[in-house]
Every structure is written in structure tokens, then in C-alpha cells.
């Protein structure tokens, strides 16, 4: 029996965690991942509409068993009040990138036209370089970077992935999720919260 049959395929999992907005939360979460050997592809934290809560978006590569372990370990941290994973859910994801690229006078028009094709924005102009802003799915950003390589990338920074599930689609009178996991009976994101938390008081997951 192969490893894949035993533990399942390696997939990208997107997890959102609502945490208390207080010092030390990010270091505690990052330390938990490091101590248990979980491989983080990206981790983004930012404020929500509730000033008492921050939202972490964590991208982890692994099997379904890995996802289950990550969710359980996160909930053991005092500052974590809710964990949502997007397995089997139709969601919107965005990554933001700033990139400085060499753009000599003879090549500048080509770089600008390439940016227009990707709906990127020129946010700073130098004598021999441009700074470009682009947001979208990871695949879109990677494709843009590949096409910029021949011109000479000077510096690149990315925020990491943020994600949010799509709204329910109403067909007739019955709200229906846009996507489910085939055969698994999953509808919408899987949510886990601590028992003393009233989910009505939390931001949408």
C-alpha cells in the first residue's frame, strides 16, 4: 500500500483562525507550528471588523490528517476562539505583490503593456525601473513574475494569501452552497469553536 493510500494526497489547505487581538498571539501560533513540524506556506494576520479580534489566514500543505491536527492544535491555544477550514468550499483568495523591475527606456513600454494585460498598477516610476502592484490568485502572480524575469526583477515582496468563502447562492427558496465536496456531505466551511464562545458574536468565517 502506498503512502498516498495510507495518509491521503498532499493538498494545499487554507485555514482561517479568529484570535484575540493582543500581543504575542502571532509568535504563539508560529511557535506551535514550528514545534510540531507543520510546514506553513504562508501566514497572514490582520484586523477584522471587531476590534477585539484579528484574523489569521494560514496556508498549509499536507494530508487531511495534517489539517485535522493543525485545527486541534490551534484550538488548544488560549487566544484562538474559532478555526475555519475551507475544504470543499468555494472561496475567494487574493495575494498582493509589489515588484520593482528594471525598465530601461527601450523596454519600458513592453513592461507597461505586460502590466496592463495582467491588470496590474504602476505605483512608482524611476529613471530605469518601475514598481508594479498586482493582486489576485497565486497562480496569476507566479505567471506575472515569470514574464518579468527577462527584464530583471530588482526586488519583490508579497503579503501572502487571504481568503473568504463566497456568499450562498439562492436557487428558488433554498440557499445552496456554490461548491461542496463530492460524496463527503460537506456544505460550506468546516467550523470549530470553543464551547464558551457565542458564534453569533463572531465575524463571519
Domain hosting 39: range is: 3-89+174-201
- Residue 195 shares a structural domain with residue 138: no
Check pLDDT > 80 for residue 93: yes
Check pLDDT > 90 for residue 97: yes
- Residue 72 shares a structural domain with residue 145: no
Q: What's the chain's average pLDDT?
A: 81
- Residue 46 shares a structural domain with residue 27: yes
- Residue 192 shares a structural domain with residue 143: no
- Residue 24 shares a structural domain with residue 98: no
Helix, coil or strand: residue 24: coil
CA distance 59 to 162: 9
- Residue 107 shares a structural domain with residue 182: no
- Residue 11 shares a structural domain with residue 46: yes
Instruction: Check: pTM over 0.85? Answer yes or no.
Output: no
How far is the first Cα of the chain from the last one, in angstroms, to the nearest whole number? 38
Beta-sheet strands, E only, within the chain: 11-20, 40-47, 53-62, 80-85, 91-102, 121-125, 129-136, 153-158, 162-165, 169-171, 174-176, 180-181, 186-187, 190-193
- Residue 75 shares a structural domain with residue 37: yes
Q: Examine residue 126 and state whether it is found in any structural domain, yes or no.
A: yes
Residue 32 is predicted with a pLDDT of: 86
Query: How many independent structural domains does the chain possess?
Result: 2
Report residue 116's pLDDT band, with 50, 70 and 90 as the boundaries. very high
Q: Which residues contact 130 (CB under 8 A, 6 or more apart)?
A: 100, 101, 103, 108, 111, 112, 115, 122, 124
How many residues does this entry show for the chain? 205
Helix, coil or strand: residue 135: strand
Q: Examine residue 193 and state whether it is found in any structural domain, yes or no.
A: yes
Check pLDDT > 60 for residue 69: yes
Check pLDDT > 50 for residue 115: yes
If you average pLDDT over residues 121-128, what whole number do you get?
95
Q: Examine residue 158 and state whether it is found in any structural domain, yes or no.
A: yes
Render the burial of 80-110: b for 16+ CB within 10 Å, e for the rest.
bbbbbbbebbbeeebbbbebbbbbeeeebee
pLDDT in tens, 137-193: 999 999 999 999 999 999 999 999 999 988 876 555 444 443 333 333 333 466 665
If you average pLDDT over residues 75-88, what whole number do you get?
86
CA distance 130 to 153: 10
11-15, 113-117, 154-158, 198-202: least confident range: 198-202
Query: What CATH number has the domain bearing residue 123?
Result: 3.30.70.1150
- Residue 121 shares a structural domain with residue 75: no
- Residue 82 shares a structural domain with residue 182: yes
Residue 70 is predicted with a pLDDT of: 86
- Residue 155 shares a structural domain with residue 135: yes
- Residue 158 shares a structural domain with residue 102: yes
Q: Examine residue 48 and state whether it is found in any structural domain, yes or no.
A: yes
Amino acid at each position: 500500500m502506498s503512502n498516498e493510500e495510507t495518509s491521503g494526497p498532499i493538498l494545499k489547505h487554507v485555514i482561517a483562525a479568529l484570535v484575540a487581538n493582543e500581543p504575542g498571539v502571532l509568535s504563539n501560533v508560529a511557535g506551535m507550528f514550528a514545534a510540531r513540524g507543520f510546514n506553513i506556506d504562508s501566514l497572514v494576520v490582520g484586523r477584522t471588523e471587531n476590534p477585539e479580534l484579528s484574523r489569521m489566514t494560514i496556508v498549509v500543505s499536507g494530508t487531511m490528517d495534517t489539517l485535522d491536527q493543525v485545527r486541534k492544535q490551534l484550538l488548544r491555544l488560549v487566544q484562538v476562539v474559532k478555526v475555519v477550514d475551507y475544504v470543499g468550499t468555494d472561496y475567494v483568495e487574493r495575494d498582493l505583490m509589489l515588484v520593482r523591475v528594471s525598465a530601461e527606456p527601450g523596454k519600458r513600454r513592453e513592461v507597461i503593456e505586460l502590466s496592463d494585460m495582467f491588470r496590474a498598477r504602476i505605483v512608482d516610476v524611476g529613471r530605469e525601473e518601475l514598481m508594479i502592484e498586482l493582486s489576485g490568485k497565486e497562480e496569476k502572480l507566479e505567471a506575472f513574475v515569470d514574464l518579468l524575469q527577462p527584464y530583471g526583477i530588482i526586488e519583490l515582496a508579497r503579503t501572502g494569501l487571504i481568503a473568504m468563502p463566497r456568499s450562498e447562492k439562492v436557487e428558488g427558496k433554498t440557499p445552496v452552497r456554490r461548491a461542496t465536496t463530492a460524496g463527503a456531505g460537506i456544505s460550506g466551511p468546516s467550523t470549530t469553536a470553543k464551547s464558551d464562545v457565542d458564534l453569533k458574536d463572531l465575524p463571519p468565517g
